[in-house]
């Protein structure tokens, strides 16, 4: 049963973590993040930014506490005046110009009140950009036949959320959702939000979503960031599923606390 559950969670992880191009590792931030939140009152915006920083520290990414740091995570709550989500961006939007065509299409076609994307730098084995200009490619030799020759670094992430859709949700829920959509390249939930495990990614699909990041969510982010920079996606998916199953096993073993 546990092996079957591990396989189920592995396949689910593959659906929600956007797959990298062939022979590339899953992208992640290499440096502490600096979040900026727009479209809310200053107090609410800072509360969400601070929780994102707390999440990043707790999950091993780190956060830049300098108030003058250059934002690497943008969370924007879009007012009704901006129109429906399908009007926020187009294939020609400069915000998406760095994305490959298939990635732009994925962002534009998301069926939720959210649009999210990451800016990714592909680097060679020595940390240098793999593409110089538009036509020159660096082709370093890997250390072995099993080592990927590149690393992929998230250098910036953005998530746009319809402010109307956020009404009734807590600041903690919104911050944890933004954490999951920016610290790694996650997609909207498949199958209209039906999920084999609780996840904050269901925030805008589930009538009764989690109050915060779940054990699965934390296992997903922590295992990705615990992995070496050039770990293969297959290894990362396996590690996430194994950690999630272990978390479920531990939860079942904990005695129930009697209600007062």
Beta bridge partners of 77: 161
Considering its fold, how many domains does the chain have in total? 1
Angle, CA 241 vertex, CA 178 and CA 215 arms, to 5°: 45
Q: Are strands 136-137 and 73-78 parallel, antiparallel or unpaired?
A: unpaired
Paired tokens of 116: 């999210």
pTM of the model: 0.87
Domain assignment present for 201:
yes
C-alpha atoms less than 13 angstroms from C-alpha of 85 in its C-beta half-sphere? 19
- 260 belongs to a structural domain: no
Within a domain: 258: no
Range of the structural domain that residue 89 is part of: 2-187+196-252
Tell me if 210 is assigned to some domain: yes
192-232 pLDDT per residue, tens: 657 899 999 999 988 899 999 999 999 999 999 999 888 88
* 259 lies in some domain: no
- State yes or no: pLDDT of 130 exceeds 70: no
The reply to whether 151 falls in a domain is yes
Under the banding of pLDDT at 50, 70 and 90, the label for residue 39 is: very high
Count the Cβ atoms, other than its own, within 10 Å of residue 202.
20
């Amino acid at each position: 049963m546990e092996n079957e559950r591990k396989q189920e969670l592995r396949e689910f992880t593959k659906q929600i973590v956007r797959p990298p191009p062939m022979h590339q590792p899953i992208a992640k931030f290499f440096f502490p993040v600096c979040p900026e939140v727009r479209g809310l009152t200053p107090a609410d915006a800072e509360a969400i930014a601070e929780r994102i920083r707390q999440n990043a520290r707790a999950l091993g990414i780190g956060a830049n506490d300098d108030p003058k740091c250059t934002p690497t995570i943008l969370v924007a709550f879009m007012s009704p005046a901006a129109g429906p989500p399908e009007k926020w961006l187009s294939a020609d939007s400069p915000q998406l110009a760095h994305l490959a065509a298939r990635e732009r299409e994925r962002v534009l076609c998301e069926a939720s009140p959210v649009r999210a994307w990451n800016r990714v730098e592909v680097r060679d084995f020595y940390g240098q950009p793999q593409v110089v200009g538009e036509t020159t490619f660096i082709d370093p030799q890997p250390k072995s036949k099993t080592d990927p020759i590149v690393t992929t670094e998230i250098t910036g992430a953005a998530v746009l959320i319809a402010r109307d859709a956020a009404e009734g949700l807590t600041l903690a829920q919104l911050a944890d959702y933004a954490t999951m959509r920016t610290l790694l390249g996650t997609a909207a939930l498949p199958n209209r939000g039906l999920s084999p495990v609780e996840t904050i990614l269901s925030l805008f699909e589930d009538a009764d979503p989690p109050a915060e990041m779940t054990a699965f969510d934390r296992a997903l982010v922590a295992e990705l960031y615990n992995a070496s920079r050039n770990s293969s996606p297959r290894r990362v998916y396996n590690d996430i599923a194994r950690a999630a199953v272990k978390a479920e096993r531990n939860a079942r073993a904990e005695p129930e606390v009697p209600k007062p």
